């Protein structure tokens, strides 16, 4: 396992490694190569060059990792660890993440092209997530239930679901792993994670901190490789009690099918086509800023992207002018530079998909206001860049309004009345998030209640925290991450009946 390179370049920023960094996987507390001996290259989307070698695992490696997690849960010290001690370990892990956030952020930004200003903030903030769930670990308590019979005491307990198989995406690898891992550790589960093959390195770096924090071997296992060879066998493995997945809706359906073969529990955080609704009385400068945050930040590669702009007719032209002006001013460049606001998309295949969505929108008659191209300015031509893109005169039946692009592409749709805005907002297969921009507090609450989505922001967009549940309606998945509701995803309820009288009863009658 390589160590992080902390050198700086001539501009004072983090230096890219000059040699391929070689990684191993974590299984049962040991750093190991894939049993096949195969590796694959991780490509830096800014330079277009390989920067790391990653083990290419297969089903045998998955089986070893699941067995390790099962031993740790059933027979190892983790299964006997008290909730109080779990909380202590989690707090220590949070401290280590905060200490190493800058180092791991460089790895993640090199791997997926997300700007360092965001990955550093995300990673430093994870201490709060582990602290929040560390505090909840010793509060997973059951209830005493009033019985309808005097001779019975009835109570419940909450117990860990067992071995969790997690399949995580490439856009925010450690953050979205932690949304699953933190509540699972608090509950007492063990974990096998398969990070996305496009950006697995930061997850491997994070796993080193689990060891340093003192977690027993087998509590966290990391298996890297391609989806069909690793993700599929992990979801279908009979030793996995729950599968937690973040990714596309199509892949989520496949994961759910694989988990169903052995009736594993599933939570799915899937895609979105979230509306950002701007009413005529909104603060337009604040709304334009929120739109930029919602669809151009993270290069639009976020499930919660506010990619459908629903704009009231009276302010439609003015708002689009503001958004277009902001879009043209976005500073694209090296994601490791502090001044960069938008980096490249994460990999070649995804670039082709984003450009294909832009071309389809133009073919269907959407009006291109700005962007829609691969920029060729110095320092950008070698990277997988797409200029921030805004379409106007979009109809909600167009593909650009129906399908998730997962890139820096916004589609603007006019509306006239509040009822029309709600109808358009709900006219989608998805239901992950929505933004509402208005100074009318009564309207804000009416519209928030009417929209079928898991998270609603009012006069804001793209804010998350450990205390706030996150998840989707409809094709955006089910189950919740973060908040106390997340603990229910990783626990089972056990009901205990205690007979108090010692008297015999008719064995041929219920109860």
What is the distance between the alpha carbons of residues 85 and 97, in angstroms, rounded to a whole number?
Answer: 19
Give the active site residue among 108, 120, 205, 303: 303
Are 455 and 467 in contact, with CB atoms under 8 Å apart?
no
269 given a catalytic annotation: yes
Give the active site residue among 269, 341, 481, 489: 269
> Residue 497: beta bridge partners?
154
User: CA–CA distance from 277 to each of 312, 317, 371, 382 (Å)?
Assistant: 8, 14, 22, 36
Of 230, 229, 479, which Cα lies nearest the Cα of 221? Answer: 230
Q: Which residue has the tokens 């908040």?
A: 483
What is the distance between the alpha carbons of residues 396 and 399, in angstroms, rounded to a whole number?
Answer: 8
What is the distance between the alpha carbons of residues 426 and 450, in angstroms, rounded to a whole number?
Answer: 9
The set of residues, in sequence order, having a beta carbon less than 8 Å from that of 339 and lying 6+ positions away, is 331, 333
What is the distance between the alpha carbons of residues 228 and 376, in angstroms, rounded to a whole number?
Answer: 36
Query: Residue 366 has which token pair?
Result: 């959407």
What is the distance between the alpha carbons of residues 215 and 73, in angstroms, rounded to a whole number?
Answer: 12
DSSP-derived secondary structure letter, 383: S
What is the distance between the alpha carbons of residues 317 and 106, in angstroms, rounded to a whole number?
Answer: 40
Q: What is the secondary structure of 21-43 as a DSSP string?
A: EE--EEETTEEE--TT--EEEEE
User: Catalytic residue numbers?
Assistant: 269, 303
């Amino acid at each position: 396992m390589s160590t992080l390179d902390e050198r700086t370049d001539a501009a004072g920023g983090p230096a890219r490694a000059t040699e391929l960094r070689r990684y191993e996987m974590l299984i049962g507390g040991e750093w190991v190569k894939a049993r096949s001996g195969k590796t694959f290259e991780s490509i830096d989307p800014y330079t277009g060059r390989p920067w790391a070698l990653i083990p290419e695992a297969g089903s045998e490696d998955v089986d070893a990792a699941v067995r390790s997690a099962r031993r740790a849960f059933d027979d190892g010290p983790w299964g006997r660890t008290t909730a109080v001690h779990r909380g202590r370990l989690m707090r220590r892990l949070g401290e280590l993440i905060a200490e190493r956030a800058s180092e791991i952020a460089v790895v993640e930004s090199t791997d997926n092209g997300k700007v360092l200003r965001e990955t550093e903030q995300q990673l430093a903030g994870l201490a709060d997530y582990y602290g929040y769930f560390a505090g909840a670990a010793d509060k997973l308590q059951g209830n005493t239930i009033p019985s309808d019979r005097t001779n019975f005491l009835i109570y419940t307990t909450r117990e860990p679901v067992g071995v969790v198989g997690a399949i995580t995406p490439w856009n925010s690898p450690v953050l979205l792993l932690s949304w699953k891992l933190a509540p699972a550790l608090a509950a007492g589960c063990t974990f096998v994670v398969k990070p996305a093959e496009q950006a697995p390195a930061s997850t491997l770096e994070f796993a080193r901190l689990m060891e340093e924090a003192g977690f027993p071997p087998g509590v966290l296992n990391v298996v890297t490789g391609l989806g069909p060879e690793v993700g599929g066998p992990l979801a279908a493995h009979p030793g996995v009690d729950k599968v937690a997945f973040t990714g596309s809706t199509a892949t989520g359906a496949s994961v759910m099918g694989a988990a169903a073969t052995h009736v594993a529990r599933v939570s799915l955080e899937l895609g979105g086509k979230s509306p950002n609704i701007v009413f005529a009385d909104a603060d337009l400068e604040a709304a334009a800023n929120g739109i930029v945050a919602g669809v151009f930040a993270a290069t639009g590669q976020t499930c919660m992207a506010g990619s459908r702009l629903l704009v009231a007719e009276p302010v439609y032209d003015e708002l689009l002018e503001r958004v277009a002006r902001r879009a043209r001013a976005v500073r694209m460049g090296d994601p490791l530079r502090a001044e960069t606001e938008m980096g490249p998309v994460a990999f070649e295949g995804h670039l082709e998909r984003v450009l294909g969505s832009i071309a389809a929108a133009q073919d269907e008659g959407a009006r291109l206001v700005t962007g829609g191209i691969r920029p060729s300015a110095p320092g950008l031509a070698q990277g997988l860049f797409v200029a921030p893109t805004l379409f106007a005169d979009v109809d909600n039946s167009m593909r650009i309004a129906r399908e998730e692009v997962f890139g820096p592409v916004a589609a603007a749709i006019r509306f006239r009345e509040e009822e029309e805005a709600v109808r358009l907002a709900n006219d989608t297969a998805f239901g992950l998030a929505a933004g509402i921009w208005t100074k009318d507090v009564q309207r804000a609450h009416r519209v928030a209640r009417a929209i079928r989505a898991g998270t609603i922001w009012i006069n804001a967009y793209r804010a998350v925290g450990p205390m706030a549940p996150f998840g989707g309606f409809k094709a955006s998945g089910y189950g919740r991450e973060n908040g106390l509701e997340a603990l229910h995803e990783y626990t089972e309820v056990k009901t205990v009946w205690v007979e108090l009288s010692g008297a015999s009863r008719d064995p041929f009658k219920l109860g």
